[in-house]
Amino acid sequence: MRFEGTDTYVATPDLMLAVNAAITSTEGASAGVSSRFQAANCANLPFKPSFTVSTQAKTSKANGASLDVKVGSSTGQANIAKVHVTLPKQLPARLTTLQKACVDTVFYANPAACPAASVVGTATAHTPVLANPLSGPAYLVSHGGVAFPDLVIVLQGEGITLLLDGNTNIKKGITTSTFNSVPDAPVSSFELKLPEGSHSVLATDIPAKAKSSMCGQALTMPTTITGQNGAVVTQTTKIGVSGCPKAKKAKTKKKKQKGNKGNKGKGHGKK
C-alpha cells in the first residue's frame, strides 16, 4: 500500500479535527480514510497577544495620514479568532478614497483588475507552519448595498492564498473595523501598513494649531482581540507617533551658596 498524504481541517468551533488520507494498494485500488480527533484543554491555553500601532507625525490634506499595525504572539498560546478596533477621531476614513473601492464581483474574479486607487496598503504574516511569510496588498472592496467598503487583505505564499475581510463601519466620523474570521493558525507576527499618499485610506482631523502634525495628539485605539479558545483581551491601544522632535531636557542651574561654607562658626578677624 502507498500512503498519499494527510490534511488537517477545523470541523467545528469546539476544535473537532480530522486527519484525512487516501490509501492506494499495489494493484491500484484506492480508498479514502478519515479519523477524527479533538484537541483538549484549549480553554487553558494562555492568550496574551501583542498589539501595537503607530502613525507618522507629518500629515497633510493632500496625502492624508498613515497607520502601521503590528500583532504578535508566541508559541503555546491560543490563536487569534477575531479583532475589533475603533480608530481615533483624529484619523477618520478618507471618503474620496472609499469612493474608489473595487466592486466585489471584479475583486473576486481578478483582484488585478481593480482600480489602482482601491489598493490602500500592504500586509505581511509570519507563521511557524510555513518556511516563508505570506504577504500581499490590502484592498477596499464594496459589497453592493453595504454602506461602506470592507478592507480586504490578500495574503499569498507557498501556493496559498488567504483573504482577511475587515468589515468597516463609520458612525459620527468614527471608523471601526472588525475581522471576524481569522484562520485558526499560529501567527508569530503580522503587520499591516496603510501609508500616506494621494489615495490614503485615512484622512486627518486635527486642530489647525497643530500645523499638520500628529505630535502632541492623544491618539488611542480601543481594541478587542478574541482567541480561538474564547479568551478575550480588551485594551486601549496608544498610537505612537513617529518623526516627532525629541523633547529638550530642561537645564537646571546650580545655585551658588553665599558665604564660606568651610568657615561656619569661625571668627573673621582679630579682637
Same domain, 24 and 129: no
* Cα–Cα distance for residue pair 259/256, rounded to 1 Å: 9
Cα distances (angstroms) measured from residue 146 to each of 20, 117, 150, 173: 39, 19, 9, 17
For 14, the domain range is 2-40
DSSP assignment string, 164-215: EEEEEEEETTEEEEEE----SS--SEEEEEE--STT-SB-----GGG-SB-T
Task: Tell whether 226 is covered by a domain.
Answer: yes
Q: State whether 17 and 55 are in the same domain.
A: no
List the one residue out of 195, 197, 193, 175 whose CA is nearest residue 90: 175
**Whether residue 93 sits in one domain with residue 210:** yes
Let me know whether 56 and 115 are in one domain. yes
Place of cell 469612493: 99
Does residue 268 form part of some domain? no
Residues 84-93: tens digit of each pLDDT? 999 999 999 9
Local structure of 4: helix, strand or coil = coil
pTM: 0.76
**Rounded Cα distance, 213 and 220, in Å:** 16
d(CA 230, CA 14): 10
* Domain match, 28 and 89 both: no
The answer to whether position 55 is within a domain reads: yes
Q: Are residues 27 and 98 in the same domain?
A: no
* pLDDT tens digits along 7-66: 333 333 444 556 777 888 787 888 887 766 455 556 778 999 999 999 999 999 899 999
